[in-house]
Structures are given as C-alpha cells and as structure tokens.
Amino acid sequence: MNQIYLDGHSTTPLAPEALEAMTPWWHAQTGNPHSPHFRGMLASQAVESARAELAELISADSQELVFTSGATEANNIAIRGTAFAALESGFDRRRIIVSAIEHKSVLASAASLKGLGFQVVEAPVTRQGLVDLERLAGLIDDQTLMVSVMAVNNEVGSIQPIARVVELARAAGALVHVDAAQAVGKLPLGFTDFDLASISSHKVYGPMGIGALFISSASSLRPLPVQFGGGQESGLRPGTVPTPLVVGFGVAARVARERLIVDCAHAAGLAASLLDELRLLQTKFLENVPETIRVPGSISIRFPGQNAMSIIGRAGHRLAISEGSACNSGQINESHVLSAMGYTTQEASETVRIYCSRFNTQHEVIEAARILSESIRD
C-alpha cells in the first residue's frame, strides 16, 4: 500500500511541470548563470524568467526579489541584515517585535541580535493562534525598527491579520517583515505593503533548497548581507544561483498563480471531508483553529487522551502526518506555537498536523480518516 501523504506544511510534493522544466538544466543545458559564455547566458535568462514568474505571483517587481536557499535564510537576511544596516547607517531604532508563534528561524535570528544592543519583544497570540492586535499595538513605539509577523502559521495554519499589523507598524514608522512561506500560492497575497517577505519553494510545489527574499524598492532601509563571497544576487546573497532549482521554483510559481482558486477550493474540500469522516466514525477530536481563519487544506486537531506520536507510529507506513510538537536534535519538546496559544503540555502532545495538498484525492482523505480512527482505537 502506498503511504498517503498529508504533511504539506512540512513540504509539498514537487509539481510535475516543475520537474519537467528542471530536467534539462541538470545535464543537457548545464550552465553557470554567472558565466560569460553562451551556456551561461542561457542559464542567466532562465533565472531571470523564473524571477519574473515569482514576482508576478506576489505582485512585485522582479528586481525586488533575491534568491536564497530557502525561507530560513531569507528570514536571517531580513532580520539580521536589516539590523546590521540600521547599525551602519546610524538608524537609532533598536526594538524588534516578533510574534510568539513565528518560525524558529525568525525567533532565533531576532534573539541573536540582543548582544548588539537590540531589544527583542515577543507579541502574544490568542487561543486561536492569531497575534493579539490590541497588545501588539501597545508594544510598538517610536523605537521599533521592525515588526515581523508570519502570514500563515506553519504548525496550526492560522491566517494572521497582516493588513492590521502593517497599519500598526506604519503608524509608528516601523519596517514590516512577513514570513510568507506557508501563504504564497495558497492565499491571494500581494507584497506591495511589506518591506521584506520570505518565500520557500518547497511549500508551493517547487523543489527543496531554493527560496527568495522580497525587498521593497520603497523601503527606507535595505538589509546588508550576512554572508560574503562573489557578490551574486545584487551583492546580498553570495554563491552560485542554482539554475535547475530556480527554474523549478519559477514554474511552480506560475502554476500556483494559474491554479490558486482551484487549489484553494480543492484543499478546503478535502480537509472538510476528512473531518466529516472522522465524525461519521465517531472519533472524538477537537480543532485547535477554526476553519474560518486557517489556510485552506490545513488541519490542527487533537485527540483527547491520545498521544500524537503514538497515533503516528500506529498509522505506520499507511499515513504521513506530523505531530504538534517540534523535534530538535532528536528531542521532542513542547511546541512553542501551541504553548504560546495557551495549550497545556498534555494538549500539545495530543495534537497532529495535517495538510491536504493539490495532489491528494477524496479517496485518500477518507482512507486517512479511517486510518486515524483505527490508530486511536488500537
């Protein structure tokens, strides 16, 4: 039996269109896009074409995009690079605000700046996984350099009120960074109101190992590089741009733009069917985030009295889902996201994370619900 894959928050399957487009660039059309010869020129053109496709998906100018190894690197450049730029330019703001449920690459990047005199403040969130706007407003002041809030949470799928976050930050003259890894291609989202935004290819049916950082041409401060080398990507991100990965990313972005409405409806319908089947099977569960505020296809549910890791283990080779706790260096720790939302250690340990993707079917989600139900009864 083939395993049913429902772990799209972790990574989405590669789109066949992206795979096909990437294939020639591994061998038949090999070329370094920074080389002066004809093959290099062709590779460079392919890279720029992909950059344009990605820009169109997010309603940006292609020159506002810098390719990175993924959203983690983009988050590091956005936060650490902007802080370095503030220090170098004499910009005197030293307060950075992040939501308490940000990806760890955001939290760790911000925390690393404390030794340089920056104050890092975590904005609290509600029980439903939304940043508390009233309390956020009270944290933003005239010393705030940046506010960083993700568009969609990677563990529970909650859609953040980004428009209001932008309004609050702008009123105080602060920059806005958005980790958009879980939102691009899954929600209609333009970047024109942001200063910085991070994107991950493998969350939008593109290849692993490539991402991008959006840097608004209208921003008052441009980040400095955090790594050094050959000066590629406008001097901000050194290293050879991987042509095959970028080409795949560009095609995945184009397909995501063309299929956005269809994909959203498909994913939402599958998630609803899975939950309906669990109810028909009289399997007791609780939704951590209501459907109205979570990205289509995403489910964060807990099974009272059941251990998530045990459920996943019993589902075995039949079903690929993940737990609500984060694994670090082989140690299972309580999810900082669920903890910040006010869930107990017990409730967090009962939580599983599911994402129904473009390539899942109605039959698969019905079968997945049955596997879950059986795993709980076992």
Q: Which residues are catalytic?
A: 327
Q: Are 44 and 243 in contact (CB under 8 A)?
A: no
- CA distances (Å), 39 to each of 43, 67, 178, 202, 351, in order? 6, 20, 36, 27, 50
Q: Are 152 and 129 in contact (CB under 8 A)?
A: no
Q: Are 340 and 100 in contact (CB under 8 A)?
A: yes
Greatest extent of the chain over all pairs of C-alpha atoms, in Å: 65
Residue 90 CB coordination number (10 Å): 6
Q: Are 70 and 201 in contact (CB under 8 A)?
A: yes
- CA distances (Å), 328 to each of 104, 322, 371, in order? 11, 14, 27
- Residue 174 has φ and ψ, to the nearest 5°, of -90, 155
* Selection from 331, 63, 74 nearest residue 203 by Cα: 74
The conformation of residue 56, written as its DSSP 8-state character, comes to H
Q: Are 25 and 244 in contact (CB under 8 A)?
A: yes
Question: Tokens 């911000």 belong to which residue?
Answer: 110
